Amino acid sequence: MYLRFSLFLLGSILLYGQTPRTRVDDAKDAIVALQDAALLHAPLSLNDLTEDKAAELEQAAQRQLDRAKARVQQVQVRVDAGFEPRQSLAAPLEEQAFAQQEYDLTLSRTALVHQAVEMALLEEQLPVPQPNAEEGIAGPPVMEKFNGRGSFTPADFYRVRNAFEQQFHKELPVSADGETAVHRALGFDHRDRVDVALLPDTTEGMWLRHYLEASAIPYYAFRSSVPGKATAAHIHIGPPSTHL
């Protein structure tokens, strides 16, 4: 499909160029189109998918889709004018469908990095926990857990969120509500769980923990990142995320 799409791009230049200048411009556009196609089909691991790279892929996919739509419009005009049979639309429509599929897949592919950035930005707003200044006294553990009754329902979350808003007159700073691409990439099933961007030992964090304990709602309190478990300090509400 990629080779056929590339040949189609080059062939359309020869068929529909009208002036020497237009043919030159079309040739330049075809080179860009081939570069976009090569970029979209190049192997890329999640570790290499930066925010800049994601934007580059999205732009390439959008240009490819725009070119395919323009091609359909050009052929449609010639068909409507009686210069070409209606069957001439079959190939351009197929290419447009392919470009649309490529665009949708690209957005799915780049959604992970956007979610990771959003979570990181939210969690970066948290102050860094300070170590205990008094020597010889160990600080609190990096992670604490409360088993509660072992379950967490949407109704529970509704009560927790409303209680927090009534207490502090602002929204609960949720960084992940249910399953996200980031959790899938880490290999966790985060459905029916909620991550809150609060340090466990701040006034708001301690209030939330006490409320959860009084309501027998399980939670994990992370004071910093934990390899394979947490990307930053936060409070995980609900039972532990199971491995996919």
pLDDT digits (tens, 9 = 90+) for 31-47: 877 887 777 777 765 54
Structure confidence at residue 13 as a pLDDT band (50, 70, 90): very low
Percent of the chain with pLDDT over 90: 20
d(CA 90, CA 80): 14
In this prediction the pTM is: 0.45
Asked whether the predicted pLDDT for residue 211 surpasses 90, the reply is yes
Percent of the chain with pLDDT over 70: 65
For the beta carbon of residue 40, count every other beta carbon within 10 angstroms: 21
Asked whether the predicted pLDDT for residue 7 surpasses 80, the reply is no
Greater model confidence, 3 or 171:
171
Greater model confidence, 11 or 118:
118
d(CA 194, CA 176): 6
Let me know: does 219 contact 146? Beta carbons within 8 Å.
Answer: yes
Mean pLDDT of 18-28: 62
The per-residue pLDDT for range 70-129, each reduced to its tens digit, is: 989 989 998 888 888 999 999 989 999 998 988 888 887 777 666 655 555 554 454 444
SS3 235: strand
* Residue 18: per-residue pLDDT: 45
Structure confidence at residue 11 as a pLDDT band (50, 70, 90): very low
Structure confidence at residue 191 as a pLDDT band (50, 70, 90): confident
Asked whether the predicted pLDDT for residue 209 surpasses 90, the reply is yes
Smallest CA-to-CA distance from 143 within 210, 243, 239, 233 is with: 233
Report the DSSP beta bridge partners of residue 52.
Answer: none
* Residue 15: per-residue pLDDT: 44
Asked whether the predicted pLDDT for residue 62 surpasses 50, the reply is yes
Q: Where are the alpha helices (DSSP H) in the chain?
A: 2-16, 20-41, 51-80, 90-124, 154-168, 181-186, 203-214
* Residue 76: per-residue pLDDT: 92
